[in-house]
Structure 1
Amino acid sequence: MTDFSKLPVTVITGFLGSGKTTLIRELMQNPGGKRLAVVVNEFGDVGVDGDILKSCAIPDCPAENIVELANGCICCTVADDFIPTIEALMALEPRPDHIVIETSGLALPKPLLKAFDWPDIRSQITVDGVIALADAEAVVAGRFASNVAAVDAQRLADDSIDHDTPLSEVFEDQIACADIVLLTKPDLAGADGVAQAKAIIARTAPRPLPAIEVAEGVVDPRVILGLEAAAEDDLDARPSHHDTPHDHDHEEFDSIVVDIPELADPADLVRAIEILANRHNILRIKGYAAVSGRPMRLLVQAVGARVRHQFDRAWRPDEARQGRLVVIAEHGDIRRDVIEAALGLAPQAAQ
């Protein structure tokens, strides 16, 4: 059983756009009687997810319990960011019953677990569990290279192709570190797709893992909180492609921030993002925009060419109606001039 003097922490991991923020938003609204605190680790300089969650704050998870770290992977900034953040949350009155950490979609979870061995906090907190989210449809499509035996064979046969697959390694590391896998967007995958995704995860995982369908982040909090996994003491059972220190490298991915003008029609931005993703291997775009004549801010979330958008809140009187997007791609695939042109921010068309 868990040492009840330790504050339990749940790590929510998963690839870009798998639904982590949606899940945490639902947990905040339905915390199962627990007072939550949330740490959001963004990739890129614009904090989108933290702002989304703060707009959903409730008494059991007030805005002051939601902390955003957007200046690097928290497992790489332990002393400067992670430890002070955890200590500040533990010092809150009333103290949280449970801390939830949303990692960046590009994060490797195992180095984060190792950070819980830091002397200043290891006697005060425990990793209650690691929850990995996986987009069922994308898993079946092989986008994370979790079932890439045939693809790897083809690559090995062609010396002109880069055999390294960093996205697959991130996905496999997340599954290997998990205590439970949540298969999101099951409606897009269908029953057969969900079954295939579960089979792929079973083959990928180093040990048997429960895989549960979750739509729109709705899950009974008893299923994912209170696992008592003490994951920080169980690292050997959670193998990683990046167990050696020099392998933990975020240089495989780049991000840039682009400001976008006020839109006349959100559909124009959606079409531009779809074209950009299809032509230039963009992994993820997220941010917000202003729409002419609308008092509400438009939230934009894109995974590849799949774009979702909705009005999330009113623009505040003290903020400029300035749109801003974070664009994430593998290293070498980001060119600011091409991205700005594709989004209509430069006079020439993207090539």
Structure 2
Amino acid sequence: MAKIPATIVTGFLGAGKTTLIRHMLQNAGGKRIALIINEFGDLGVDGDILKGCGDETCTDDDIMELSNGCICCTVAEDFVPTMEKLLARDLPPDHIVIETSGLALPQPLVRAFNWPGLSTKVTVDGVVTVVDGKAVAEGRFAHDEAAVDRLRAADDNLDHETPLSELFEDQIACADMIVVNKSDLLGEPEADDLTGKLKSEARSGVQVIRTAMGALPVEILLGQNVGSEASLEARREVHHHHHDDEDDDHHHHDHDDFESFVVTLGEIADPNAYAQKVAEVIRTHDILRLKGFAAVAGKPMRLTIQAVGPRIETYFDRSAGTARETRLVVIGEAGLDRDAISAALAP
């Protein structure tokens, strides 16, 4: 029996992984897709955004969320049992898509596909690393001299790469395809420079593709047929080392560098005005990512809010139901002033 292909979608916080997957589900062409989603935060926003958007190709039952920690730290406890449950279904999926958290290293996940019980039934179709083209072009979360110089100038105590740049480099090292998302925010020369730079940093043969709003054709995203689990040595972590025993997938990047919390508020009056308020709060408090849902006074639909830095996307997606409240997840580097941020986000 042919192995079921699985695509791993990785990338830093706010790169556009959920948007990419949502577009894929809406254009799946009848392919039965199961999703495994690993979020960083206390509110399952990504899963909630995705539920229902694939209709019969990806029902609510096909979306499985792992919220017990970073997926690369809980391979044995959470990921492998979840995969086994999917594979044991009477009607298994045609394709499995795994969205890692923005803090996850993809290598331990790829390694798990060599475990007994998985290796004969499923294969890694490809590792897709989604990049926020605008942020990387500006030197954020990129491993290059200009970014390091800017960080050093901002912090007299910094004499090495930050955890963010190291994580980004590991995600590039593991990629079979690099998707430069939000390329519409770049000029053509800037986009060409970034694409060339990423190609030079990636392994030979890795595709670097530009997109906007995650609009990548399904036939490009899926069906790469790489078998990534068979080439672990080529995609070895640059900064993080694992024990040789494949039953031990502990690694050394520090999740304490980040924190997240949920802000629960009442209805908002004006979506546009509130989006401007959110952008100002993000700038003031240097928030990395903000996402969630808002109840808008007089509107039956809920407002989805997704922000990466000061760039904000809002849209109405489904009925707000009876819970007329606004719930937002705030994610940033450790030390966020939770009280001040919560007060500032109040309608």
TM-score (norm 1): 0.89
Q: Distance in 1 between matches of 2:59 and 2:116?
A: 29
Q: What is the letter of the counterpart of residue 328 of structure 2? A: L
Residue 176 of structure 1 corresponds to 173
Can you list the C-alpha shifts for 1:283-318, whole angstroms capped at 9, x where unaligned?
A: 00000111111111010000011111111111235x
- Matched with 2:183 is 186
Unmatched 5+ residue regions in structure 2?
243-249
User: 1:152 maps to what in 2?
Assistant: 148
Give the number of equivalent residue pairs.
338
Deviation at 1:139, TM superposition (A): 1.6
Q: Distance in 2 between matches of 1:167 and 1:113?
A: 21
Flag the 1:271–1:220 CA change in 2: closer, same or farther, 3 A. closer
Structure 1 residue 19: deviation in Å? 1.8
Q: What is the distance in 2 between the residues matched to 1:274 and 1:228?
A: 41
Question: After superposition, what is the alpha-carbon deviation per residue over 1:64-96, rounded to whole angstroms, capped at 9, x for unaligned?
Answer: 111122231122222332122112211233211
Counterpart check, 1:28 vs 2:25:
yes
Quickly say closer, same or farther: Cα 1:150–1:136, change in 2 above 3 A.
closer
Aligned equivalent of 1:305: 310
Give the root-mean-square deviation of aligned CA atoms: 2.1
Q: Residue 245 of structure 2 aligns with which residue?
A: none
Structure 2 CA distance for aligned equivalents of residues 154 and 315 of structure 1: 43
* 1:248-327 correspondence to structure 2 within 5 Å: 248-317=253-322, 320-327=323-330
Alpha-carbon distance in structure 1 between the residues aligned to 2:333 and 2:204: 30
Task: Return the match for 2:42 from 41, 45, 52.
Answer: 45
**Closer, same or farther: CA 330–154 of 1 in aligned 2, 3 Å:** closer
| Cα deviation code 1:82-119 (max 9, x no counterpart) | 12211221123321111011111222111221222333
**Match runs of 1:48-127 below 5 Å:** 48-127=45-124
Q: TM-score, normalised by structure 2?
A: 0.90
Q: Any conservation in 2 of the 1:136–1:193 contact (CA below 8 Å)?
A: no
Percent identical among aligned pairs is 51
| Secondary structure class of the residue paired with 2:288 | strand
1:209-248: CA deviation from partner (whole Å, max 9, x where unpaired): 2111222322222222222211112111113222344413
Read off the aligned partner of 2:270 and give its amino acid letter: D
CA distance 1:162–1:87, change in 2 (3 Å): same
- The alignment status of 1:134 with 2:131, answered yes or no, reads yes
Q: Secondary structure at the match of 2:43?
A: coil
Distance in 2 (alpha carbons) for counterparts of 1:288 and 1:33? 29
CA distance in 1, matches of 2:216, 2:261: 33
Counterpart secondary structure, 1:59: helix
Q: Which amino acid aligns with 2:106?
A: P
- Cα offset for 1:259? 0.7
Cα 1:30–1:271, aligned 2, differ >3 Å: closer, same or farther? Answer: closer
Say if 2:73 and 2:251, in contact at 8 Å, map to a contact too.
no
Q: 2:301–2:317: 8 Å Cα contact kept in structure 1?
A: yes
Once residues 251 and 220 of structure 2 are traced to their aligned partners in structure 1, the CA distance between those partners, rounded to angstroms, is: 35
8 A contact 2:52–2:59 mirrored in 1: no
CA distance in 1, matches of 2:152, 2:16: 33
Return 94-103 or 224-233, whichever deviates more.
Answer: 224-233
1:214–1:73: structure 2 CA closer, same or farther, 3 Å change rule? same
Counterpart among 240, 243, 248 of residue 242 in structure 1: 240
Look up the equivalent residue of 2:241 and give its one-letter code: D
| Counterpart-to-counterpart distance in 2, 1:154 and 1:250 | 23
| Letter aligned with residue 148 of structure 2 | D
Q: Secondary structure at the residue paired with 1:247?
A: coil
Matches within 5 A, 1:220-239: 220-239=217-236
Q: Distance in 2 between matches of 1:281 and 1:47?
A: 23
**Contact 2:267–2:297 at 8 Å: present in 1 too?**
yes
2:198 corresponding residue in structure 1: 201
Residue identity in the other structure for 1:327: V
Note closer, same or farther for the CA distance 1:246–1:28 as it changes in structure 2 (3 Å cut).
closer
Secondary structure (helix, strand or coil) at the match of 1:226 reads coil
The runs of 5 or more residues in structure 1 that have no matched partner are: 346-351
SS across alignment from 1:104: coil
SS in 1 for 2:57: coil
User: Which of 150, 160, 164 is the aligned partner of 1:163?
Assistant: 160
Q: Equivalent residue of 2:186, what SS?
A: helix
Which segment drifts farther, 24-33 or 120-129? 24-33
CA distance in 1, matches of 2:303, 2:41: 19
Report how far residue 151 of structure 1 moved. 4.1
Structure 1 counterpart of 2:52, one-letter code: S
